[in-house]
Structure 1
C-alpha cells in the first residue's frame, strides 16, 4: 500500500503556498523524516518530511504549483522491514 506525502497544517490559511522544489527524485530511497519537498510562502520556506521509509514513486505537484493544506504532493512505496513483516 502506498503512502501519500501530504501538505500538513502549516497555519497558512489565505497565504499563497507553492511547491518550490523536490529534494528527492522518483525511484529514490528515503527514510522516515528525510526532507523530500520544499514549499514556499512569501518570505518563508517549509521542508516537508517523508512520512515513512521507502521509495518515492510519484511527484504529483511540480515546482510552481500552488498547494494548500491536505494536498497530496507525491507518493512513497513503503519499505518492507523485518518489523513490518512480524506485524502481519
Structure 2
C-alpha cells in the first residue's frame, strides 16, 4: 500500500503541475509567472517558449524546481503519501 500511495501522490503532483502550466496559456504569462517563482529572466524566457507537451513539461526540470512539493503544501494541497505514513505510524 505504501508504494501505491507514493505512486498516486507523485502522479497527482505531476497533474497539478500540468494543470498550472496549462492554465498559464500564453508564453508571456508563463514567463512572468516563472520570474515570480524566482527563475532568472533568460531562463524564464527560454522555458516559457518550450514546445514540449503539457504532460512532458510537468515532469521536466522546469516545473519540478519551481512548483515544488513544499510550495504545494504551503498552498494547502495534502500529500496522500505523508498522510498515509502519519496514519501508519
Q: What TM-score does the superposition give when structure 1 sets the normalisation length? A: 0.29
Between Structure 1 and Structure 2, the one with more helix by share is 2
Between Structure 1 and Structure 2, the one with more strand by share is 1
Q: What TM-score does the superposition give when structure 2 sets the normalisation length? A: 0.29
